[in-house]
Amino acid sequence: MPTRFDPADAHWRVEPLPGFSPDQKDWLTRGGSLTAHLRTLGAVVVRVTREAVSLPWDDEHRALGVAPRAPVWVREVVLSVDGVPFVAAHSIAPVAASTGVWQTMRRLRTRPLAELLYSDSSVARSPLVSRRLTARHPLFRLASREVDELDARCPHALVARRSVFERYGAPLMVTECMLPALWSHLAARAGMPAAQRRLIPREHGRSLEHTAARSHHGAAHPGRDADRPVPSAASRARKC
């Protein structure tokens, strides 16, 4: 089922950048539920960090097909695996859709958004697109709060992906920023003897789907956060 919404632009691209690592290219293009993929690594907990009416960031309104200052409902969460933050996610939908077609997203609390997106055959998903985030992007500033202050690998850039889900003509865009702890975990796991690795769960006798979009499941612009201040790049540098 195709969707009429396109999350790609000059910075968000379908093909991951050549400089990304193999693990990064893999996880940035995995179709299906990211929460389900994270569960192959350990116990996943969702922590809600923000739910509010706000304005879309500079690189978001075109993907949703709304005006730059059209109000949107924002849901931001952190996905942790075995107590360690691995992903910071930022989801938005037009306010009207968040009280109509997508009203369930306001009632999820600590349940993953995947429960809403992958259980409804009327939902279509756009292709996944990805990019490198620097301190100028608001998602970098949000995600960097979850990086361990004592971590010597405090990054100058992070990687993220996004896609738009459409249900009855209403869009909901999900952007997921992968944190350094995920890549460290995958690197350490790759170095383990095979007997010590967790077995990868399989769905219906096959591995988790690895495509940019699942049709049967539904489907450098500096940004801004209109509702609350975010730490400056200078303060972030001091923190790191």
Q: Tell whether the model's pLDDT for residue 236 goes beyond 90.
A: no
Longest CA–CA separation in the chain, Å: 54
Question: What's residue 206's pLDDT?
Answer: 31
- Report the pLDDT averaged over residues 95-114: 96
Average pLDDT over residues 118-133: 95
CA quadruple 150, 84, 158, 177: dihedral sign: negative
Residue pointed to by tokens 């096959």: 206
Domains in the chain (CATH in brackets) are 22-239 (3.40.1410.10)
Which phi and psi angles does 9 have, rounded to 5°?
-155, -160
Whether the CB-CB separation of 99 and 71 falls below 8 Å is answered with no
Task: Check pLDDT > 80 for residue 9.
Answer: yes
- pTM, two decimals, is 0.80
The number of residues in the chain equals 240
